[in-house]
Amino acid sequence: MQMKKPRIVITMGDPTGVGPEVIARALADPVVRGCCHHLVVGDELAMARGIALAGTGFRIETAENVPREEPAEGVVMLCRVAALTADDLCYGRPTVASGDAVFRAICHAADLCLKGDADGMATAPINKEALNRAGHRYPGHTELLAELTGADRVVMMLAGARLRVALVTIHEALARVPALVTFERVLATIRITHRDVHRYFTRNPRIAVLALNPHCGEGGMFGDEESRIIAPAVQAARQEGIDATGPLSADTLFHFAAQGAYDAVVCMYHDQGLIPLKLLHFDDGVNVTLGLPIIRTSVDHGTAYDLAGTGKASAESMKAAIMMAAAMAGRRGGEDGAPCG
């Protein structure tokens, strides 16, 4: 039986950044184009400019829903959720209107997924400050999507072929991190990572859980979060049948994880996980939100204002994000986390 192609909705991201350009370039790749039916959600002027910059010669056709059939050769399908002017489209200078367009695109894409009119969403990068200046008070897509979908708890995971990192805390000032590393949060992150990595990526994943402090706290000399919080959370996860190991020292663990010793690494804070991930996978890493009732992937990079408008932005991460969303849609398991294939 031939599988139906997944319908993937792609949000345009910040129109003053590299988003429209990398989407256009990604959709020009026959493998990416062929892996799903697509619908870009955003602004037509911004998308037309991204297409021109990418040099793909695409023509835009508008649609309300992700089409179920192939678009004509050389066509990008677009759902308009904004009508920006040239003043809103200066590279690197987001306006309230462009920040609001970003917000509306994410909301619309999530809505299509929730209604079952799309099988997953892939997002181009946004500038969080611009989103907030437009009055939408969220640290990023992750928290906005959690609210839109009614998810209790979500986990940011970044993934490449050699490494997956899942974060206990996300966009937090470093000074706040120790107070946020609680038993409950560490255990919930391990559980969600286990469930969704099993569901979408690999069966019974082996999960490494990192320490917060150097040398796992060195017996309490450099901190006690390891013995007080992280070790008990790992123990509790193990009692639930999860293959979790830790706490492990972050300075050496990545060497082994990148060689295949673990399927996912639970990290205590943003840069603990994202530095090694981007060292290995800056070009093709994908950000995946675990714990949502819908599928959401994203590029691993930001708006790259320094590159926007030059036509030099790499589309590899955008390609990987679209293809991963399509692959996840094909593997979606039941609520118990049982993988399809």
Ligand X SMILES: NCC(=O)COP(=O)(O)O
Ligand Y SMILES: NC(=O)C1=CN([C@@H]2O[C@H](COP(=O)(O)OP(=O)(O)OC[C@H]3O[C@@H](n4cnc5c(N)ncnc54)[C@H](O)[C@@H]3O)[C@@H](O)[C@H]2O)C=CC1
Q: Which residues bind ligand X (CB under 6 A)?
A: 126, 140-142, 274, 287, 298
Q: Which of residues 73-102 bind ligand Y (CB under 6 A)?
A: none
Q: Which residue number, 266 or 304, has a Cβ lying nearer to ligand Y?
A: 304
Least distance from C-beta 172 to ligand X, angstroms? 12
Range 192-195 contact pairs with CB under 8 angstroms and sequence separation of 24 or more = 192/153, 192/154, 192/155, 192/166, 192/290, 192/291, 193/155, 193/157, 193/166, 193/264, 193/266, 193/290, 194/237, 194/242, 194/243, 194/244, 195/290, 195/337
Q: Which residue number, 16 or 298, has a Cβ lying nearer to ligand X?
A: 298
- Residue 314's binding partner among ligand Y, ligand X, none (Cβ under 5 to 8 angstroms by kind) is ligand Y
Residue 203 burial by Cβ neighbours in a 10 Å radius (0-12, 13-18, 19+): exposed
Give me the residue whose beta carbon is nearest to ligand X: 140
Least distance from C-beta 22 to ligand Y, angstroms? 6
- Residue 149's binding partner among ligand Y, ligand X, none (Cβ under 5 to 8 angstroms by kind) is none
Q: Which of 22, 36, 192, 326 binds ligand Y (CB under 6 A)?
A: 22
Least distance from C-beta 138 to ligand X, angstroms? 8
Q: Does 281 bind ligand Y (CB under 6 A)?
A: no
Q: Which residue number, 77 or 127, has a Cβ lying nearer to ligand X?
A: 127
Strand order in the sheet with 155-159: 59-62, 75-82, 37-43, 7-11, 120-123, 296-299, 286-290, 155-159, 164-167, 264-267, 207-210, 244-248
3-state secondary structure of 152: coil
Q: Does 286 bind ligand Y (CB under 6 A)?
A: no
Least distance from C-beta 341 to ligand Y, angstroms? 28
Under 8 Å CB-to-CB from 188, ≥6 apart: which residues? 153
- Residue 142's binding partner among ligand Y, ligand X, none (Cβ under 5 to 8 angstroms by kind) is ligand X
Residue 44 burial by Cβ neighbours in a 10 Å radius (0-12, 13-18, 19+): middle
Q: Does 304 bind ligand Y (CB under 6 A)?
A: yes
What is the Rg, in whole angstroms, of the alpha carbon atoms belonging to the chain? 20
Please check if 215 is assigned to a binding site.
Answer: yes
Enumerate the known binding-site residues for substrate.
141-142, 278, 287, 296
Query: What residue ranges bind ligand Y (CB under 6 A)?
Result: 18, 22, 125-129, 141, 287, 298-299, 301-304, 306-307, 313-314
